[in-house]
Amino acid sequence: MASLTDNTAVDFTQVTESEPRATDTENETSTVRAEIPKKLLATEAGTTSEMEVIVDPSSVKLIARSIAELTRDEEYKLLLEQKRTLLKKKYSEGLTKKDELALQLTIWNIDRIEDARYGKNLDALEAIVKAHEAAAVKVARTVENFDRLIRSRTSRPGAHSRR
């Protein structure tokens, strides 16, 4: 069985318009279904011999998360252990160039998996924060306008005698 850190080639083929699949080229019997929304896939106009996948750049995050969600917990735990081992080695005896690259790849894979697991929630929190920040700006402008209005009415001569 190939792991994420192996140099195993993965062939993404189009089974049907709604069912893309990834097939491990070393083990043709294993097929993994990726949950890629149908709207992200399209055929290129004029291509009749094969279907090409055209992806909107803003959808890359969604596709990457869909693929990373396929990672099993065992693989994730192995990556965490590999990271821990390489970090221990880094701070105790130093890393070779090969080990440094392995550490970078391991950290990247862990980040990818964690983004798939927690990214949707973090995106939702980010949207809430942005909405609150926009509301805070509007409230600050409204307070500024009220302050200006109050100052302009109280600074006019005879403004206090109008009762």
Please give the pLDDT value at position 159: 53
Torsion over CA of 140, 144, 145 and 148, rounded to 10 degrees?
Answer: 170
Residue owning tokens 């980040």: 111
Rounded to whole angstroms, the Cα distance separating 11 from 117 reads: 24
Of 6-15, 19-28, 61-70, 149-158, where does the model show the most confidence?
A: 61-70
Residue 4 burial (CB count, 10 A): 19
Which residues, at least 6 apart from 118, have a Cβ–Cβ distance to it below 8 Å? none
More reliable by pLDDT, 62 or 148: 148
Structural element, H or E, at residue 22: strand 19-24
Q: What's the whole-model pTM score? A: 0.51
Please say if the pLDDT value at position 134 is more than 80.
Answer: yes
When mean pLDDT is compared across 56-60, 84-88, 89-93, the lowest value belongs to 56-60
- Domain residue ranges of the chain, discontinuous segments joined by +: 1-70, 73-156
Which residues, at least 6 apart from 32, have a Cβ–Cβ distance to it below 8 Å? 21, 22, 23, 24, 70
Please give the pLDDT value at position 53: 60
- Provide mean pLDDT across the span 131-154: 94
When mean pLDDT is compared across 22-26, 88-92, 100-104, the lowest value belongs to 22-26
Please give the pLDDT value at position 20: 41
Please give the pLDDT value at position 82: 97
Measured in whole angstroms, how far is the alpha carbon of residue 79 from the centre of its chain?
A: 19
Percent of the chain surpassing pLDDT 70: 60
Please say if the pLDDT value at position 129 is more than 90.
Answer: yes
